[in-house]
Structure 1
Amino acid sequence: MANPLTPDRLLDALRTEGVNVIEYGDWHNHDRAGHGGWGPINGVIIHHTASSGTASSVELCHDGYAELPGPLCHGVIAKDGTVYLISAGRANHAGRGDGEVLAAVVDERPAPDPSAGDTDGNARFYGFECVNLGNGSDPWPAEQLDAIERVSAAICRVYGWSAASVIGHKEWTNQKIDPRGVSMTTMRERIDRRLAAGPGKPVPQPKYEPYPGDGFFRRYPRSPIVTAMGARLVAEGCSAYGQGPGPQFTTADLKSYAKWQRKQGFSGADADGWPGRVTWDALRVPKV
């Protein structure tokens, strides 16, 4: 049985992991007690606030609003990486989600796509809201991503979990899109590397770019990862570029990647140009 952490234990775990924490108001006693269960704890859910500005976002998550009283999470992660703790108990952050996803998190295995809304996530997950508009173009600074990694690793370390216990809100329910602009697959890889390194120790950086997930490419991103991928495709003799490659993912990238898939022995629908993990790992895109 994974009991909730006491406020002091939660604070200590975050600071041990190197998180810059600010205690906001009477966060020790600010919760939704009496409005549902709190525990057993099974994981961490990452969100975006759909707002801008640190002070206003923290205030919103602390107070909530008429239709959804606060706290709306356990901590707010600012763009500079500072984490504002606003609760240590039940919070209105996850809502109802898919019980099959919860079962996968408990078993620490890849979760299915969510469909049902049959399980109270507020009772089972810590939730962290990240200040971001969630429009797909608002940037995610390195400091903020580092804080997400550290916060998640801190809680996983206390409970002895792997990064499979950390999911995005969009992985809990099909009614949400957050955190938009963050690959949870890549974030879980970062968290597992940190857990392996130990608290306070340098985290080894991967030599190659981790697979950013199918959704990353289907949004036709503009990213240095795309440029690095294209350069590797050219080097492997799989170019369909008239010019470039460049940072914007285009149909030329799709055609080039399809050539790479065929070179790896795939055909038909398995060589449609959308990067998958097996062929991505084989391509060995340099870390950017």
Structure 2
Amino acid sequence: MRARLGRLCRAGVTLGRIEADAEGPTALCWPNARGQARPPCDTVALGWHLRSETHLAELAGARLFHDPLWAQWRPEADPMGRAGAGLYLAGDGLCLLGADAAEIAGRLAAIACLQDLGLPHPASDLRRLKRPRRFAAGLAQAFPDPAARVAAPPDRSVICRCEGITAGALRESAAHGGAEANRVKSLSRAGMGRCQGRYCQIAATEILAAATGIAPRMRPTEAGRMRAQAPARPLPVSACLARPDPGRSQTILPSRRR
């Protein structure tokens, strides 16, 4: 990796903080054997896990369960993708297994639909999904969700960037409204912005559960999750007022201008 990048590459460090000024990031800080490393920087790329996009499935009526391997609420479905009466799921909306596996899952869901309609259908081959499922599970185990660190950021840390809600505001809301995710959402507005909680709800739920003393193994059931709300994506008022034209297909996307 160092040879390819032409730079020193550090692995296995625990990021302490990112320092910034009005222009952007200025330094990264993490503890080391000499105390603290503080290399300067002007760009930070930060990510942890990918998450299944479950909003549409939930709004369509799928039941969700908490998957401890992925540290996420996911739709319940059988191996063919059946998630309820007339509801079939595949791809990233069900579980993140990669593009090839999504194609296989889509084919299986289509076969399940044909089966349920009593129509002719090709043979299904569930074995083709075993390998990507094992690989995805291995990745999730190799890079476990850092729940303990997520639950303990300083009060000034911004958790919900859409609404500018800090960890301190979440803890204050939890103290006044209990430890249920949707109650804290209504009190603090965390998860009410453009992303509808896609980026912040897992961290927000961990923070409020820790603040109210819920044991880690009980957090999924006692703290719950932020329920999906329609619309799944932001819509301009013009899209809601527009009359549908049966003879024309049109997609209206929201402007990103504030």
Structures share a fold, TM > 0.5?
no
Normalised to the residue count of structure 2, the TM-score between the two structures is 0.24
Higher relative contact order (CA 8 A, sep 6+): 1
Q: Give the structure-1-normalised TM-score.
A: 0.22
